[in-house]
Amino acid sequence: MVAQSKTLANQLGVTVKDELALFHELCDELRKWNIVSVAEEAEMCNTTLYNWINGVSIGRFQNVIKVGRVLGMELQWVRDSGGSKKPSLSVVK
């Protein structure tokens, strides 16, 4: 029997809902940047990033984190109004 590897999101305990929210948060920030430059630095295809911001496709969690780092963002855990911790991408200054 082959053991299935968990995705990065699963390893971090990120829900599908939170993963999608992080993706949209990243896309909002990504729209402010030069896509070609970001793609080069993230070692990704610029078409992929254009597809993300145009709603054609949704990025895998590890790629969202990779692009976020290029934009100066990092994954942080913040408490919501109910006191539960949830992931958020924050611009690091």
Among 7-11, 24-28, 74-78, 88-92, the range scoring the smallest mean pLDDT is: 88-92
pLDDT at 1: 45
Question: For the chain, which domains are there?
Answer: 15-91 (1.10.260)
Give the DSSP H or E segment for 30: helix 16-30
pLDDT in tens, 19-76: 999 999 999 999 999 999 999 999 999 999 999 999 999 999 999 999 999 999 988 8
pTM: 0.81
Greater pLDDT, 77 or 41: 41
pLDDT value of residue 40: 98
